[in-house]
Amino acid sequence: MKRVSLLLVLSLAMAGCGKKPEEKPQAATATPYGSPQEVAAYLQAIDPLAQQINTIHQELYQMVGTSGKATGANLAPAMEQGRLKLQQALAQLEKISPPPLLVPFHDKIKKLVLLRLDAYRLTIEGWKLEQEKSPQFEAQYTHSEEKLGEAQQVGAQLSEERQRIQQALAPAQAPQAASR
């Protein structure tokens, strides 16, 4: 019995020597937003849509015309068209699945679109009220301006965050570029 126990102990001791169990290499290239592959794929999917969302809004400024003054008459028709385009962009946005750590960023993009949609709706309603000579049209325009201001703040936050994401991704992509 002692001999079996001694052999068992020796064989276990020998098994412990030699190769160490394989350790998974730590993801030195990981970003605070997820794996570089996940983040890059998400950015590749979201960037054209973000560009489209910004272009839709920029088109409104062209409608202001040479007067340089935004009115219900010149903005409401443009916002009606912009609203349809933003609704389509929102539907596309809903189809994109962000990596878990980029969900807050994705939700901010959605918030920006929803704020603009609400502002556009308020302007369109304000223009209708103005045409009806209702004194409430000014309140609609004021609310619309507030929503657009809030959307602008969210847009600035998104821009800063997008820059941080890209900066976090750059070192992780550098080894990949060097190995090509």
The answer to whether the beta carbons of residues 116 and 148 sit under 8 Å apart is yes
Q: Say how many domains are in the chain.
A: 1
pLDDT the model gives residue 29: 62
Tell me which residue range forms the domain holding 155: 31-175
Q: Is 23 among the domain residues?
A: no
Q: Is 2 among the domain residues?
A: no
Global pTM reads 0.78
Distance CA 64, CA 22 (A): 65
For residue 51, the number of C-alpha atoms closer than 13 Å in the C-beta half-sphere is 6
Q: Is 122 among the domain residues?
A: yes
pLDDT the model gives residue 174: 64
Q: Is 13 among the domain residues?
A: no
Nearest CA to 45 out of 110, 106, 115, 111 is that of: 106
Please give the share of the chain, as a percent, with pLDDT higher than 90. 66
Q: Is 96 among the domain residues?
A: yes
Q: Is 6 among the domain residues?
A: no
Q: Is 124 among the domain residues?
A: yes
How does the average pLDDT of the chain come out, rounded? 83
Please give the share of the chain, as a percent, with pLDDT higher than 70. 77
Q: Is 9 among the domain residues?
A: no
CA-derived radius of gyration, the chain: 28
